Amino acid sequence: MAVIEQIRCGCVNSYLIESRGRAILVDTGRLGSEEKILNMCQKTKVELILLTHGHFDHVQNTSFLKERLQVPVAMHKEDYSLLRDNRKEPISHQGLLAMLVAEVAERNLEKNRIPEFVPDLYLDDGDCLSDYGIDATVMALPGHTRGSIGLDIEEKFVITGDALMNLFYPGLSMIYWDREKMIESALKISALGARKVYFGHGNPVENREWSRIEI
């Protein structure tokens, strides 16, 4: 069975998924956490870096880790443009708490750069990652961004990126590109049934009816 290690990088998570000595790194965190993530990765054989989406707090260390680990980087093609400028995609929100989160996010998008890198492959819904040693299927989860993706791992665990969040409580993402698509993605995660859910922000919880948990 795969082991999922949560790597806390401030308020954002990276994940190391390992099975039988082979591993995938999911998301690379913000600048300042690169050595912490690298040290974790050097304990196993990382074969792929997978990015759940293109926002800076999930991808800033990708260039560094790609060079040091000498592994390919994968993401969804719809988020490639965000690597050059996170402001290319507007941020929406609903509610007072979400408005505060959106304001912080907007300020961070203005001042944070992403060290340049080029993805080696693009992933889409239903792609299998067994070639990299992990029994996992890619899930398209648009809404937070156009090209947000997650992973269904061994039909036991799901990594959602920011399709769902656990910043203050587990629920729908507090900021998004398209609310309706975000809700559709939440329903898709709920339909998986019994899973442990790992978020891009916050600690894991058990899967549930996410569309009923308002933001």
75 to each of 10, 48, 93, 208, how far by Cα in Å?
22, 11, 24, 26
In which region does residue 143 sit, left (phi positive, over 0), alpha (psi from -120 to 50) or beta (all else)?
left
Q: What is the dihedral of CA 57, 61, 63, 64, to 10 degrees?
A: 170
The pLDDT of residue 101? 85
How open is the CA angle 44-49-54, to the nearest 5 degrees? 150
Architecture of the CATH domain 3-86+102-212: 4-Layer Sandwich (3.60)
The pLDDT of residue 104? 87
Q: Are 37 and 25 in contact (CB under 8 A)?
A: yes
Q: How far apart are CA 4 and CA 154, in angstroms?
A: 11
The pLDDT of residue 121? 97
Cβ-Cβ contacts under 8 Å for 42 (sequence gap 6 or more)? none
Domain extents in the chain: 3-86+102-212
By C-alpha distance, which of 136, 160, 132 is closest to 48?
A: 132
The pLDDT of residue 7? 98
User: What string of DSSP letters covers 31-61?
Assistant: TT-HHHHHHHHTTSEEEEEE-S---HHHHTT
Confidence of residue 96 (pLDDT cuts 50, 70, 90): confident
What's the pLDDT tens digit per position in 137-163? 999 999 999 999 999 999 999 999 999
